[in-house]
Amino acid sequence: MAAEGETSSESLVLSGMHDHYGGVIVHINDNDPMDPATFLSLLTSSIAHWKLQGKKGVWIKLPIERVNLVEVAVKEGFWYHHAEPMYLMLVYWIPQSPHTLPSNATHRVGIGAFVLNPNTRQVLAVQEKSGVLQGTGVWKFPTGVVDEGEDICVAAVREVKEETGIDSEFVEVLAFRQSHKSFFEKSDLFFVCMMRPLSFDIQKQEHEIEAAQWIPFDEYAAQPFVQNNELLKYISDICKTKIDGQYSGFSPVLASSFYDQQASYVYLNNSSTAPKRDGGV
C-alpha cells in the first residue's frame, strides 16, 4: 500500500492506476501490512475520494495471502469478478447507475485434431481412459483445451504430441462450434483442426489415453457414436469432403494489432487470395 498523492487527505487513499474508462485499478501487495480494520478505513476514504474525482469502476486485486480482506470489501459493496490461483479480483461501481463493467471471460476454447495420413487415408484416433467415453471403445480425435496465451494452432500441435507422441503441423481450421452452459456454466468454443503428421510411431499418454492408433477414416466415420450424433456426423462429413479435395478451411495469417502492434493470427478462408505475410504457419 502506498499513498496516491502528497496531501494529507490523499495519504488515506489506496494507490491505484487509472484505466482508460474512468476507473481505478488497485493492487494490494502480499507484503503490505494490512489488517481488516486498516483496510476498511482506507477503502471507505478511497471510495469517497474517487467519487469526488468522478471515477466509475473500482478494481481491487487481492493476493491469496490477503483473503482475510474479502469480507470487508464485500460488505462495502464490492463483488467477485474473477479468481486465479494466486489472486481474487473484486469490483465496485461508484455511480448511481447500472454498471458497465465487462464480464469475466465467457468462453473456454478447445480443439479437436483431425490428423490425416494422406497416403493411407488413415486418421489418428484415441480412446479415453477417463470421462464420459471411458470403457466405451469409441475412437475419437485427440482433443484438449487451449492454454491461456496459447494460439489455437499451437495448442493443436501440443495436444496431438501429448496424447499420442505424434509430431504434426497445423494446416487449417475446418470448422468450429459454439455451445453454452458447458464447463461450470461457461460457453465453449471448439475448433476442428486439420493436421499434417510429421511422424507415425505412436506413444500414447498413459494416464489419459486408453488406446491410440491409426485407423481407416471410413472406419472412424462408420462408428455408431459418430453416425448417431448430429454434430459428430456433420464434422465427419466435412472431414470426408476435405479428404476428397472439395473443401477449404481457414488458414492462419499473422497480422499486427492497432492497439499494441502485437502480432496475432487471423484465420482466413482461401488464404491464396489474402496478402502474403511472413511468419504464417
Same domain, 140 and 75: no
Q: Is the pLDDT of residue 128 over 60?
A: yes
- Closest to 194 in 3D by CA, of 212, 169, 229: 169
- Compute the distance between CA of residue 93 and CA of residue 58 in angstroms, rounded to an integer: 6
- Compute the distance between CA of residue 224 and CA of residue 264 in angstroms, rounded to an integer: 39
Q: Is the pLDDT of residue 280 over 80?
A: no
> What number is the average pLDDT over the span 113-141?
96
> What number is the average pLDDT over the span 191-218?
97
Number of domains in the chain: 2
| Residue 271 located in a structural domain | no
Other CB atoms within a 10 A radius of the CB of residue 47 amount to: 20
Q: 75 φ, ψ to 5°?
A: -65, -20
| Residue 267 located in a structural domain | no
pLDDT of residue 256: 87
Q: Is the pLDDT of residue 5 over 80?
A: no
| Cα–Cα distances in angstroms (integers) from residue 50 to residues 15, 82, 95, 129, 264, in the given order | 11, 23, 11, 54, 36
Same domain, 213 and 78: no
Half-sphere exposure of 196 (CA within 13 A, CB side): 5
| Residue 261 located in a structural domain | no
Same domain, 112 and 220: yes
The separation between the first and the last C-alpha atoms of the chain, rounded to the nearest angstrom, is 46
Could you tell me the CATH number of the domain that includes residue 24?
3.40.630.30
The number of angstroms, rounded, from the C-alpha of 108 to the middle of its chain's C-alpha atoms is 5
| Cα–Cα distances in angstroms (integers) from residue 221 to residues 135, 141, 143, 158, 228, in the given order | 19, 11, 17, 24, 11
Same domain, 81 and 216: no
- Closest to 156 in 3D by CA, of 139, 199, 147, 148: 147
Same domain, 56 and 162: no
Task: Answer yes or no: are the C-beta atoms of 127 and 215 closer than 8 Å.
Answer: no
> What is the span of the domain harbouring residue 221?
107-251
Q: What is the mean pLDDT of the chain?
A: 91
Most confident residue range from 95-109, 149-163, 182-196: 149-163
Domain boundary among 45, 66, 93: 93
Same domain, 21 and 112: no
Q: What is the pTM (predicted TM-score) of this model?
A: 0.83
Could you tell me the CATH number of the domain that includes residue 169?
3.90.79.10
Tell me which of 261 and 173 has the higher pLDDT.
173
Q: How confident is the model at residue 278 (pLDDT cuts 50, 70, 90)?
A: low
Same domain, 190 and 79: no
Q: How confident is the model at residue 275 (pLDDT cuts 50, 70, 90)?
A: low
Same domain, 114 and 88: no
10, 65, 162, 210: which is the annotated catalytic residue? 162
| Residue 245 located in a structural domain | yes
| Residue 264 located in a structural domain | no
**Residue pointed to by grid coordinates 485407423:** 215
pLDDT tens for 71-83 read 999 999 999 999 9
- Closest to 255 in 3D by CA, of 267, 247, 263: 263
pLDDT tens for 234-249 read 999 999 999 999 999 9
- Please say if 162 is a catalytic residue: yes
Same domain, 158 and 120: yes
| Residue 277 located in a structural domain | no
Task: Answer yes or no: are the C-beta atoms of 266 and 255 closer than 8 Å.
Answer: yes
| Residue 98 located in a structural domain | no
> What number is the average pLDDT over the span 198-209?
96
Q: How confident is the model at residue 184 (pLDDT cuts 50, 70, 90)?
A: confident
Same domain, 172 and 231: yes
Same domain, 75 and 118: no
- Compute the distance between CA of residue 158 and CA of residue 176 in angstroms, rounded to an integer: 19
Same domain, 114 and 159: yes
Domain boundary among 27, 58, 93: 93
pLDDT tens for 106-122 read 899 999 999 999 999 99
pLDDT of residue 260: 75
Q: Is the pLDDT of residue 163 over 50?
A: yes
| Residue 39 located in a structural domain | yes
**Which range among 35-39, 51-55, 271-275 shows the weakest confidence by mean pLDDT?**
271-275
